[in-house]
Amino acid sequence: MRKPIIAGNWKMNKTPAEAAQLVTDLIPLVKDAACDVVVCTPAVCFAAVSEAIKGTNIKLGAQNVHFEAKGAFTGELSADMLKASGCEYVIIGHSERRQYFGETDKTVNLRTVAAVKAGLKAIVCVGEMKDEREAGYTDILVTYQTQMALHGLTAEELDNVVVAYEPVWAIGTGLTATDEQANETIGVIRKAIAAQFGEEAAAKIRIQYGGSMKGRNVKGLMAQPEIDGGLIGGASLKAADFAQVVNF
Ligand code: 13P
């Protein structure tokens, strides 16, 4: 019942010319995908990518959004700016933003609410660090992060939210959560959403796994009942690698 969604998070990679080349290579490889396909590119690539993907099944996403509509926020981009640049999706609260750029559960919440109310689809990231998992706090932490991020939305607005469970220790490390670990924690996230918005909303919302997901482990992860897709870093930077994930 939930359509899978595979999204590439390019992070700080690709110039506009490189981005256009990558999506041009990607288009024929993913044209028959059974899932939603999204590329979240650097903002400087929006123009090139939105032009290249016109009329295809690939959607464009951003990697962050500010919660105010406009004003004195040097370096930031508003939801309306993203929409006007061809973005349909936006990643919010990625662990790299939490680790390096002072993102907190509060600002993740503000950004998520602003993005959804402005008509963007939010990909909201949650996940524990290695020491938090080892200390046994994974379930409490992802429950809190999820409920805090989504606070203030309605159950209907959740139709425009995807949650990405990204264990921080699995990002860019080559370590993946086992299929069962990922499934179990995503189940915890779904329960957290059920407690906050009801069973129906929880059954509908798509929850991705992210963290060293690639061609050789995508099948096992996607076979798990709770896992509805992937947020892909490294393996989204080459058309053939990303297509392998998309065509799982
Ligand atoms: P990797 O796939 O490179 O581990 O990155 C995952 C990620 O952070 C996606 O947002």
Give the domain CATH number at 182: 3.20.20.70
Q: What's the pTM value of the predicted model, to 2 decimals?
A: 0.98
For ligand 1, atom 2, which residue shows the shortest CA distance? Answer: 233
Q: Is 151 a catalytic residue?
A: no
pLDDT digits (tens, 9 = 90+) for 33-72: 999 999 999 999 999 999 999 999 999 999 999 999 999 9
Would the CB of 232 count as within 6 Å of ligand 1? yes
Would the CB of 87 count as within 6 Å of ligand 1? no
In this prediction, residue 174 has a pLDDT band, given cuts at 50, 70 and 90, of: confident
Cα 211 from Cα 242, distance rounded (Å): 14
The total domain count for the chain is 1
What would the mean pLDDT of 199-210 be, rounded to a whole number?
A: 98
Tokens of residue 203, six digits: 């059954």
Cβ-proximal residues to 55 (8 Å cutoff; 6+ apart), any chain: none
Q: Is 166 a catalytic residue?
A: yes
Picking from 231, 229, 239, the residue whose alpha carbon sits closest to that of residue 211 is 231
What would the mean pLDDT of 167-181 be, rounded to a whole number?
A: 91
Tokens of residue 53, six digits: 């993907």
Tokens of residue 104, six digits: 């907190």
Mutate to test the pocket of ligand 1, among 9, 40, 245 (most ligand atoms within 8 A of CB): 9
Domain span at 13: 5-246
Does 176 or 27 have the greater pLDDT score?
27
Distance from the alpha carbon of residue 11 to the mean position of ligand 1, in angstroms: 9
Catalytic pick among 94, 96, 103, 128:
94
Residue 192 DSSP SS3: helix
